[in-house]
Structure 1
Amino acid sequence: MTDNLSDHRDPAMIAALAGGWVADAASLGLHWLYDSKRILEVGGQSPEFLAPKAEYFVGGFGYFAHEGKRSGDISHYGAATGVLTQSLLANGGRLDIRDYQRRFRGFFGPGGQWQGYIDNPTRITLNNLDAIERSAIEQAQSATKVPLTDKQKRLLVQKVLPYTRHLSGQQLADPVRKAIGLTYQEADIQEAGVHLAQTIDRNLLPASGADDMQLPAISKLPPLVACYHGSDALMEAMETAVRATNHNDDAVAWARCATRLLDQLFSGETLSSALDTATPEAPAPDNLEKARMGSRMDGPGAGDTFGRTCYLHEAMPVIFHILSHARSYTEAVRANIQCGGDSCGRAWIIGPAMAAIHGIGGERGVPLSWLARVTNAAAILSDIEILVKGRQKG
């Protein structure tokens, strides 16, 4: 979708997306342990890629959420980023919000692939998607002009729902008609079913997210920014994606800040310039300026000053502090873990930003050995390459 741009920045974007997955997996073992002193006791100076264990949380304040996960696994943040990545891959790098919502619901909902912790925004989003669908069904049934019995209405809903969850618009007509034809041969009932399906489809809402301003709003953004890099449609696509899971104005504002930061770095701007450009987009720019001050890295100190929880007004200043003071990808990831709290959520901006600057390998880039430690690394990296290289054709 950006065929007017050179592809010379593709390697930086590929490195950036890989850097997000690595930073998330590296942080999982001590995720949501809020006690920096305890983190130092457990992880020392190299706290990355620890297997999650409940014993780490003994003697320190925190919440152990990742029972059964292993070293190299990703958090629910990474899982959600993967859902958006798969949707973008399926749509040529374009955000199809209905496809994204379907995949999100299918992955995290009952019978889905995800096994692990589900955060509050995800839980509420799933409930909202169910409620939106029920409302759309009621509106469609009330608009049906063919006289139907209650039994026929129920059966038609059962027939059409599997298709409204996977298809849209004119795509619905033929498969819905055939499905209804297995039970009802009458043409008017079949057409009523098609009308029902298409009316449901029109009344499904894109803004399905929780009224929530936590890190899930921005953690999924790197692949979207890569696909829309250099496009005038970037901010519109970002807001649509954010409101699908976090329907909150402050969340969108913080996401605008994060998006601007990544887009600038993907363009090859210096870190200082990218931070300068992103800061005015934030709801609390003064805190971001404050976070950049000082001459040394202090991840735990940043957590003490701004907060360690999942809320964006706490997380973004910590992110800006670490980015402003880290000299390498490794240093940034370790400082993020040592800060404590929601390290996995913050990792999805810190990791891509540092990898966009320093690349993969060498003294400052993403360590090759860390890449190899991510579960399903080969498949993840293959998807990243296909997504970035295919963005100009989308």
Structure 2
Amino acid sequence: MKNENTAAVLGALVADSAALGLHWLYDPARIAEIEAAKGLVFLKPEADHYAEGKGYLAHAGKLPGRSSAYGEVCLLMLKHLAKHRAFNRIEYQAEYRSHFGPGGEFVGYIDSPTRLTLRNLLFLEPSEFPAASGADDDQHPALAALPALIAAHAGTLENLLERMEEVVRVTNNNDVAVAAARCASVALFKVLHGVPIAQALTDALPYAGNPLQPLLEQALAMPKLDSVAAAERFGPACHVAQGLPVVFNIALHAADYRTAVESNIRAGGDSCGRAIMLGAMVAAHSAKRNGSGFPVPLPWLARYQKLATAAEACAAL
């Protein structure tokens, strides 16, 4: 992989891991208190983080540097592409079922799209897997596999979008989810091909359609970086029509990768869900802009516990 393509994948994985300790805490004021006392990134998920605020402690017992289910999907796709050299739907569905299903490697919170996808796959032979095995659900798991897919793609944008929809419907068989993934894919594809991030985000808007495009236009029209205000305006929760506008606001205005990741966490809510595409876009943009410099802080890379696995898969590609 080129430097910027590797940056996109590792940027997504590290941003997700950095947000895990405060994921699904819907209280920016409480997050600010925790930041002042303990810091913001790579915190251990603890009950006292949520005791005085609104939220759900989904990752109790996980250590700093681990991933949410979003990060696990991103890494699973990366390993799939390193192994097969191209997306193979049936093989990927089998790997997904094995990883997240009973007895699989993943131990942690199973969200609704993942649970329903597993229900659709568990009792079938691979030859019987439906192409659209996903839930009718428009939440952020729809975007989780995209950074690896896009970074490994060597063809045209049109070919990428065809493959992207096939990937998304494995877990999210929903038109709004597909539209959000299409828009986000265009933005990241263009950044990886040298388009400045502001232009890439604007170029992606027509691919979003309704109801998403007007929300993204509003997010880009916000005059400065204000992730808390963006989350209050569009919603901090797990639906793509809430999260992607926040991603666009941060990606447009953040000065660098660190600023983007920290701003995303401060916004609260589904910070891990937003982190996947945000981390990929900003890391890829920074890598393109800085040439040989790598945008993800080295101490953050070192704290991501599956760095060796991800690096080996990137090298294989």
Q: CA deviation at 1:361?
A: 11
Which residue identity lines up with residue 176 of structure 2 in the other structure?
D
Q: CA deviation at 1:295?
A: 3.0
Q: Does 1:21 align with 2:6?
A: no
Matching of residues 231-380 of structure 1 within 5 Å:
231=156, 232-282=158-208, 283=210, 284-359=212-287, 365-380=295-310
CA distance in 1 between counterparts of 2:28 and 2:311 reads 32
CA distance in 2 between counterparts of 1:95 and 1:365 reads 27
State the SS of the aligned residue for 1:70: coil
Q: Does 1:114 align with 2:106?
A: yes
User: What TM-score do you get using the length of structure 2 for normalisation?
Assistant: 0.94
Which residue identity lines up with residue 341 of structure 1 in the other structure?
G
CA distance in 2 between counterparts of 1:229 and 1:40 reads 42
- Contact 2:13–2:74 (CA<8 Å) still a contact in 1? no
2:83 alignment partner in structure 1: 90
2:53 alignment partner in structure 1: 60
Q: Please, what is the CA RMSD of the aligned residues?
A: 1.8
List structure 1 runs of 4+ shifted beyond 3 angstroms.
Answer: 360-364
CA distance in 1 between counterparts of 2:256 and 2:7 reads 14
State the SS of the aligned residue for 1:345: helix
User: What TM-score do you get using the length of structure 1 for normalisation?
Assistant: 0.76
The one of 100, 108, 116 aligned to 2:92: 100
CA distance in 1 between counterparts of 2:271 and 2:154 reads 26
Structure 1 runs not aligned, ≥5 long? 1-6, 134-163, 166-200, 388-394
- Contact 1:243–1:252 (CA<8 Å) still a contact in 2? yes
Pick the structure with greater CA Rg.
1
CA distance in 2 between counterparts of 1:88 and 1:285 reads 31
2:145 alignment partner in structure 1: 220
Which residue identity lines up with residue 27 of structure 2 in the other structure?
D
1:130 alignment partner in structure 2: 122
Q: CA deviation at 1:23?
A: 0.4
Shift in CA distance, 104/364, structure 1 to aligned 2, threshold 3 Å:
closer
State the SS of the aligned residue for 1:44: helix
CA distance in 1 between counterparts of 2:175 and 2:303 reads 37
Which residue identity lines up with residue 205 of structure 1 in the other structure?
P
- Contact 2:15–2:272 (CA<8 Å) still a contact in 1? yes
Shift in CA distance, 81/343, structure 1 to aligned 2, threshold 3 Å:
same
Shift in CA distance, 114/76, structure 1 to aligned 2, threshold 3 Å:
same
State the SS of the aligned residue for 2:202: helix
Matching of residues 3-42 of structure 1 within 5 Å:
10-42=2-34
- Contact 1:20–1:352 (CA<8 Å) still a contact in 2? yes
Q: CA deviation at 1:22?
A: 0.9
Residues 156-206 of structure 1: CA distance to partner in whole angstroms, max 9, x if unpaired? xxxxxxxx54xxxxxxxxxxxxxxxxxxxxxxxxxxxxxxxxxxx2x4311
Q: CA deviation at 1:379?
A: 2.2
1:174 alignment partner in structure 2: none
- Contact 1:18–1:384 (CA<8 Å) still a contact in 2? no
- Contact 2:25–2:53 (CA<8 Å) still a contact in 1? yes
CA distance in 2 between counterparts of 1:364 and 1:270 reads 17
Q: Percent identity?
A: 42
CA distance in 2 between counterparts of 1:293 and 1:205 reads 41
Structure 2 runs not aligned, ≥5 long? none
Q: CA deviation at 1:224?
A: 0.5
CA distance in 2 between counterparts of 1:292 and 1:65 reads 31
CA distance in 2 between counterparts of 1:208 and 1:226 reads 24
